[in-house]
Amino acid sequence: MGKIIIQKQDSVKLYKIRKTLEELTQKSGRGTELVSLYIPRGKQLHEVINNLREEQGTADNIKSDLTRTHVVDSLSRVIQRLKLYKDTPERGLVIFCGALPPEGGGPIGSEIIKLYEIDPPKELTTFLYRCDDHFHVDILKDMLKDDNLIGFLAIDTKDTGWGLLHGDKIEVLGETGSGVAGKHRQGGQSAKRFQKLREMELTYYFNRVAATTKEYFIDIYPVKGLIISGPGPTKEDFINNNYLDYRLQDMVIATIDSSYSGSEGIREAFAKAGEILSDFRMVEEKKLVDDLFRHINSRIGLGTYGLKEVTKLLKNNVVQTLIITDDTNLYRLEIKCKRCQNIQEIIIERPQLISKKSELLNSPCPNCKSMDSESTEQDIVDYLELIAAKTGAKIEVISGKAEHGAMVSSLGKVAAILRYNPNQ
């Protein structure tokens, strides 16, 4: 059997990159003044800085005074940022910078230069510099696509199913009946003739399955591994007689005995493949959620849920693993009075954030009635990560779309496995 090598990623880091790219996708400049810079691993930073200085010189030809100023200022900001690095980071570096309108909008000339710096999730091989009316984020978006595809084939003499494990879901791609006669011959046929016809039908069926398997797992979805399952010896006959394309033959990482073939067999094989695919993200997430519910339902009570309860326990160093879905979309808004230092803390959904912030900043401090306040806001994952860093708790961001993610969503999208039960 082959061995599958799966790239393991930090779920919090990937979540942050996705959120940043969502934000950047919605940004647009007044003119062609938004800078996108991709620096691959090994690229000399002094060369990049020299290139950007040349671009600053070229920017002098821009007719619009405001656009010219924005481009020159953005490039200066990027150059200053690059000077903080001794060498290009291990996987490369991505920087987006430009003059953007203030939150909530504003008149022409009110733009603020903002810089976004991203450590790419995989090794960057492309150098790109663009100055445009939008940020070029497609290279990073492609890096976030899960390329760890695993094929599933569930086969017996009656039918076959094909499935694909990718990202946060197992998908049944198709199934087919075999057309092969059962083992017991009909009256009027000799046993020898019946056996020969059956063997011919099986050969045709196996060749048909092999052709479809190649089409699915080489031509359409290039998989990194293949798991074959089914009841009885049919799967071994199919593998040992070399019906599979030689490339897929080398990718078989396991055979699994199952009660079913076809689409039902795909789901059964996935349920049994946890140990084989222990590094695959969806399996990891399913195991996390299974552990969580086991702890919630046990008498020891090491599972809990709800943002308020989990945050309290996190601050008290009781949480071992915090689980949050990627579609939580909550922010922590803090309003601080500059006179008396009184702090108001509110957890709010993203769509209401701007209006609520404006309302609180334009209201007197409930403690000293001062109107001089300042605000800070944080994505809830960033906020919880800061607390977790002080206590050594682990944070896992899981897909809210997957079946196991929906189970956590039913608990309020935030849950935790505890080190111990503080109530016992």
pLDDT in tens, 123-137: 999 999 999 999 999
- Strand pairing category for 150-155 and 159-166: antiparallel
- Give domain 150-279's CATH number out of 3.10.20.30, 3.30.420.40, 3.60.15.10, 3.30.420.60: 3.30.420.60
Average pLDDT, whole number, for the chain?
Answer: 90
The number of residues in the chain equals 424
Query: What pLDDT is attached to residue 424?
Result: 74
* CA neighbor of 414 nearest in space, from 287, 303, 282: 303
Q: What homologous superfamily does CATH list for 281-424?
A: Ribosomal protein L30/S12 (3.30.1330.30)
Strand-strand pairing, 225-230 and 252-257: parallel
The pLDDT value recorded for residue 159 is: 93
* CB neighbours of residue 393 within 10 Å: 23
User: How confident is residue 4, by pLDDT bands cut at 50, 70 and 90?
Assistant: very low
CA distance 298 to 51: 62
318 pairs with which residues across the strands?
A: none
Give the pLDDT of residue 364: 95
Terminal CA-to-CA distance of the chain, rounded, Å?
48
Average pLDDT over residues 250-257: 90
Tokens of 244: 């599979």
User: How many CA atoms, within 13 angstroms, populate the side-chain half-sphere of residue 385?
Assistant: 14
Which secondary structure element, helix H or strand E, spans residue 95, and what is its range?
strand 93-100
Cα separation, 297 vs 294, in Å, equals: 5
Helix (H, G, I), strand (E, B) or coil at 79: helix
Spatial CA neighbour of 35 closest among 98, 109, 104, 117: 98
| DSSP of 172-199 | EEEEEE-----SSPPTTS-HHHHHHHHH
Q: How far apart are CA 157 and CA 380, in angstroms?
A: 52
Which of 78, 75, 73 has its CA nearest to residue 112? 73
Question: What is residue 2's predicted lDDT score, i.e. its pLDDT?
Answer: 44
- pLDDT of 61 higher than 90: no
**Residue 167: is its pLDDT beyond 70?**
no
Q: Report whether 191 contacts 185 (CB < 8 A).
A: yes
Sheet holding 303-305, edge to edge: 303-305, 414-418, 319-325, 394-398
Tell me how far CA of residue 252 lies from CA of 207, 228, 255, in angstroms.
17, 7, 8
Residue 34: in which H helix or E strand, if any? strand 34-39
Instruction: Give 100 or 182, the one with higher predicted confidence.
Output: 100
Q: Pick from 144-158, 190-204, 244-258, 279-293 the range whose average pLDDT is largest.
A: 244-258
**Extents of the domains making up the chain:** 18-143, 150-279, 281-424
Rounded to 5 degrees, what are φ and ψ at 75? -65, -40
| Res. 73: pLDDT tops 70 | yes
Tokens encoding 16: 């942050």
- What are the phi and psi torsion angles at 186 (to 5°)? -80, 160
Specify the fold of 18-143: 3.30.960
Half-sphere exposure of 131 (CA within 13 A, CB side): 20
Is the pLDDT assigned to residue 102 strictly greater than 90? no
What is residue 375's predicted lDDT score, i.e. its pLDDT? 94
In the numeric block, which tokens belong to residue 99? 């003059």
* pLDDT (mean) for 99-108: 76
Residue 80: pLDDT band (50, 70, 90) is very high
The DSSP code for 217 is I
